[in-house]
Amino acid sequence: MILLLGASGYIGRTFASELRRRGHSFIPLTRGAFDYTRFDFLFDYLRTMRPFFLINAASYNGTGDPNADGEREKLMAANAILPQMIARVCLMTKTPWGHVSSGSIYTGAKVIQNEQFVVQKDLSQPEMLDLFEKHPKRFCGFSELDEPNFSFRTFPCNFYSGTKALAEEAISDIGHSYIWRLRLPFNDQDDPCNWLRRLRHETEVHDNINSFSHLEDCVKACLDLWQLRAPYGIYNVTNPGAMTTRQIADEMHRVLKIKPAVLSGTAGDAARLPESNCILDVSKLLKAGIKLRPVTEAFDDCFNRLRLTARNTGGLPPVARNQPTPAL
Q: What is the CATH number of the domain that holds 73?
A: 3.40.50.720
The torsion angles phi and psi of 287, rounded to 5 degrees, stand at -65, -25
What's the mean per-residue pLDDT of the chain?
92
Question: 322 lies in a domain?
Answer: no
* pLDDT band of 324, cuts 50, 70, 90: very low
Asked, as a colleague might, if the bond just before 28 is cis with ω within 30 of 0, I would say no
Average pLDDT over residues 113-136: 95
Residues 191 and 198: their CA atoms lie apart, in Å, by 10
Residue 320 has pLDDT above 80, yes or no: no
Question: 325 lies in a domain?
Answer: no
pLDDT, residue 260, reads 80
Q: Is the model more confident about 259 or about 41? A: 41
Question: 184 lies in a domain?
Answer: yes
Question: 320 lies in a domain?
Answer: no
* pLDDT band of 328, cuts 50, 70, 90: low
Question: Are the C-beta atoms of residues 164 and 84 closer than 8 Å to each other?
Answer: no
Domain containing 129 equals 2-313
Question: 323 lies in a domain?
Answer: no
The torsion angles phi and psi of 119, rounded to 5 degrees, stand at -75, 120
Question: Are the C-beta atoms of residues 274 and 159 closer than 8 Å to each other?
Answer: no
* Low-confidence winner among 105-109, 145-149, 190-194, 265-269 (lowest mean pLDDT): 265-269
* pLDDT band of 232, cuts 50, 70, 90: very high
Nearest of 30, 109, 95, 34 to residue 277 by alpha carbon: 109
Question: 209 lies in a domain?
Answer: yes
Domain count, the chain: 1
Question: 34 lies in a domain?
Answer: yes
Question: 319 lies in a domain?
Answer: no
